[in-house]
Amino acid sequence: SGDRTVECTGFRYALDRANLSIGLINWYCWIPSLEIDDSFVTTPNISAGLFNYNDIQNGNYDAWLYFVDMGLQAAIDSVNSDDSVLSGIHINIKRFSNCGPWRTGIAESWTGSTGGAASVMAQEILENHKDVIGVVGMEYSSTTRGSASVFSIGEIPYCTGIAASLRLSDKNNFPYLWRTLSHADIVHEGVGNHVHRILEHWRVSRVVIVYEKFDELSYLSHLDVLKSLQKNSIFVLESFGLAKSPSSTMYDHIVASMRKYSARYIVVLGGSDFSAAFINAMGARNMVDDDHVYFGNNVPWPSQNATLLYGDKYFGYIKGYIQFSAFNSAREANYYKALNEVNQKMGINVTEFDVDFNNIFYFYDCVKAMAYGMDSFLKAGSSPEMLATRQLNPQMSYNHFRNTGYSGILGDPFTLDENGDVNIQTLYYSYSGDYYNNVIFAELEASGKRFSNYNTSAPIFFNGGSEPPVDGPPVLLTLTYSSSNVEGILLIAFIFSGIAMALISGGAIFAFRIHSAIRSSSPPEMILLCGGCSIVFASLIGFLGTPDPFACTLRTSGIFIGFIFFATPLVCKTLKMWVIVTAGRRMKESEARQIVFKSRVAIA
């Protein structure tokens, strides 16, 4: 195009085109060379070469945010060079730090959550940067909640490729937020469904859950997993909520519990540092072996060099670790085109593993899908000026971006579900123990209902095999009696027939109590005995349905009381007859009546 020929800070533009900005939110406080005014990064651009390939491989936050920034620049350059998208408009970049400027000691004090600073930053974007029409953010869930709320009030579309909290799917609270992550599938069971499906496929019925209790995503994921497993009759032996850096004593307690229950399958829900620390602790305690399977929703890649942090044995510990996450396994032309753009932008050749692990294309698709969504307004007749001045922003809720026609990397076409989360399948990886290399062995459909692919011969477990380890000792199943099973129906019939027989017998004895045959059996004792039988039969109702405190009380106290009413007259009646029979002589009627009277007093 003849009018896109002037180069400025890495972006091509034309003076006769409308300009709008997309805001990039990131942890720019990690880069000391940037000038930051409040939250706005005034340094014109972040250029290639700031970090080298080894820095990116080490996985520190500063190199990660740089890598993501390069990916976003590549995406925006791609849009600006494409005359079929946002024709007549040039996209500029404005960067914003959600953690302020660089400061000494940030690496040691960094928690990933910036609290209220993000909300202040979002308000600054709304009020002081009117050219910002949309925002792409690299913020964890706890921070995203504040900024996304402000952007939704201000009607600024906000896409994130990292904030995976289930609560962010609530469109009543965050109508302008959408994500290139998928933690809630069509049936809304999210990460719990992902865990349940793979366990079901392996025919596993017993697990232990370990989660990072002070991390919002991990805590909510734990609740979702717990609910899904209980619903599908998978027994949770124990659930441990741990701090980010648990004590050695806590790890020892977990190991003791795992050995006590013979737990073989352990679900790990937490951040990368938490997951790595837990796996290392289990390995150091000889709990990583052929009999145990660890799997979770995050890669066990610590933010520091794993070998320096944990020693040479660490990568042996993560062998057979299973990770599940949403991504597109297909490597189509779109994927390699974007990979080439990122490599050109950075001036180095990064691998597919590098871009996948660092979520680069989650953010890349954020930019491209947002641009295509904005472009649909122009194709419908709106002017570039209307778009660039926020006049169209009230129409830019997540619904507008659900299907923009963009042929993306995460999906072709790229679409969002009713929660604003990308429609995409879930992949299951197994780590080989050779650095962080892994193999995809299963794909769960976006519906979350069945596996579209499962490699039955892939060496995915610690022992290098494809067969799941034995799921510990068998669990004794508890039968619940109810009207929905044969055993319950028989029990109900037994209860009511028993009560009916006892009541009928008692009523007949009372009605014919003066008859000689009935009178000789001591009607008062027999009526009391029938009443005791009725109570025993009635107490069996406590065995119906799921046990609760009342039902358990009814079972024990009902049977005990009924037994007293049944056994007491029977014993006293028997003793009475024994006294009369063993007297060895014919008793006077007055003597016999006195024995009967004493017997009944004893019963009372």
How much of the chain exceeds pLDDT 70, in percent? Answer: 90
Structural contact between residues 436 and 353, judged by C-beta atoms closer than 8 angstroms: yes
Q: How many residues does the chain have?
A: 604
Q: Read off the pLDDT band of 10 (50, 70, 90).
A: very low
pLDDT band at 188 (very low <50, low <70, confident <90, very high): very low
Please state the φ and ψ torsions of residue 20, each to the nearest 5 degrees: -135, 165
How far apart are the C-alpha atoms of 205 and 538, rounded to whole Å?
A: 35
- 454, with CB counted inside 10 A (0-12, 13-18, 19+), is middle
Cα within 13 Å of Cα(514), Cβ side: 0
**Phi/psi at 421 (nearest 5 deg)?**
-105, 145
Question: Is residue 167 scored above 70 in pLDDT?
Answer: yes
Of the ranges 24-33, 482-491, 582-591, which one carries the lowest mean pLDDT score?
A: 582-591
Q: What is the pLDDT of residues 484-524, one digit of tens each?
A: 889 889 989 999 998 999 899 888 888 888 887 777 777 88
pLDDT at residue 274, as a whole number:
94
Q: What is the pLDDT of residue 51?
A: 86
How many alpha carbons fall within 13 Å on the CB side of residue 32? 5
pLDDT for position 604: 62
Q: Please say if the pLDDT value at position 7 is more than 70.
A: no
CA of residue 489 relative to chain centroid, distance: 38
- Read off the pLDDT band of 4 (50, 70, 90): very low
Return the pLDDT at 304.
82
How many angstroms separate the CA atoms of 526 and 537, rounded?
A: 17
37 token code pair:
């005014």
Alpha helices, DSSP H, located in 59-105? 61-80
| Model pLDDT, residue 127 | 95
In the Cβ-directed half-sphere of 455, how many Cα atoms lie within 13 Å? 15
pLDDT of residue 212: 95
Q: Which amino acid is at 58?
A: N
Over residues 282-300, the pLDDT tens digits come to 999 999 999 999 999 888 9
Predicted TM-score (pTM) of the model is: 0.67
Fold of domain 18-182+329-422: Rossmann fold (3.40.50)
- Position 1 scores a pLDDT of 34
Q: Which two tokens stand for residue 569?
A: 């007259």
Q: What is the pLDDT of residue 578?
A: 73
Give the chain's end-to-end CA distance (angstroms, integer): 108
* Residue 521 to residue 509: CA distance in whole angstroms: 9
112-116, 216-220, 515-519: lowest mean pLDDT where?
112-116
Between 544 and 592, residue with greater pLDDT = 544
Contacts of 273 (CB under 8 A, 6+ apart): 244, 302, 303
The identity of residue 398, as a single letter, is Y
In whole angstroms, what is the distance from residue 533 CA to residue 518 CA?
19
Distance CA 39, CA 95 (A): 8
Q: Using CB atoms within 10 Å of the CB of residue 1, give its burial: 0 to 12 exposed, 13 to 18 middle, 19+ buried.
A: exposed
Q: Higher confidence at residue 120 or residue 217? A: 120
- Kindly tell me if the per-residue pLDDT of 2 is higher than 60: no
Domain 191-326+428-453 has CATH 3.40.50.2300: yes
Mean pLDDT of the chain: 87
Enclosing H/E stretch for 13: strand 11-13
pLDDT band at 328 (very low <50, low <70, confident <90, very high): confident
The CA distance from 234 to 195, in Å, is 11
Say if CB 342 and CB 74 are below 8 A apart. yes
DSSP 8-state assignment for residue 358:
T
Q: How confident is the model at residue 429 (pLDDT cuts 50, 70, 90)?
A: very high
Residue 591, pLDDT above cutoff 70: no
What's the pLDDT at 589?
63
Fold match flag (18-182+329-422 vs 191-326+428-453) = yes
CA 434 – CA 440 distance, rounded (Å): 15
What average pLDDT does the segment 58-80 reach?
91
- Give the three-class secondary structure for 128: helix
Residue 92 in this model has a pLDDT that exceeds 70: yes
Rounded-to-integer distance, Cα 315 and Cα 431, Å: 9
Question: By percentage, how much of the chain surpasses pLDDT 90?
Answer: 52
C-alpha span between 374 and 93 (Å, rounded): 16
Give yes or no for a contact between 159 and 180, defined as CB atoms under 8 angstroms apart. yes
- d(C-alpha 174, C-alpha 159), whole Å: 11
Confidence class of residue 571 from pLDDT cuts 50, 70 and 90?
A: confident
What is residue 588's predicted lDDT score, i.e. its pLDDT?
Answer: 67
> Does residue 396 contact residue 152 with C-beta atoms inside 8 Å?
no
E strand residue ranges, 65-195 = 89-97, 132-137, 158-160, 177-179
pLDDT given at position 5: 34
Element spanning 252, H or E? helix 248-261
Collapsed DSSP state (helix, strand, coil) of residue 273: helix
Number of H helices, E strands in the chain: 20, 17
Residue ranges of the alpha helices (H) in 81-184?
A: 106-109, 117-128, 141-154
Q: In what order do the strands lie in the sheet with 438-444?
A: 235-242, 206-212, 265-269, 293-296, 322-326, 426-431, 438-444, 451-454
Mean pLDDT for the stretch of residues 32-43 = 93
Helix (H/G/I), strand (E/B), else coil: 109 = helix
Please give the Cα distance from 456 to 276 (Å, whole number).
27
Structure confidence at residue 3 (pLDDT): 39
Question: Beta partners for 220?
Answer: none
Record the tokens describing residue 29, joined without a space.
Answer: 């406080």
Confidence of residue 474 (pLDDT cuts 50, 70, 90): low
* SS3 category, 438: strand
Cα separation values, 19 from 30, 77, 89, 255, 368, Å: 29, 14, 6, 59, 17
Domain ranges in the chain? 18-182+329-422, 191-326+428-453, 486-602
Output the pLDDT for position 456: 92
The per-residue pLDDT for 339 is: 95
15 pLDDT more than 60: no
What is the pLDDT, as a whole number, of residue 585? 65
Angle subtended at Cα 336 by Cα 334 and Cα 337, rounded to the nearest 5 degrees? 60
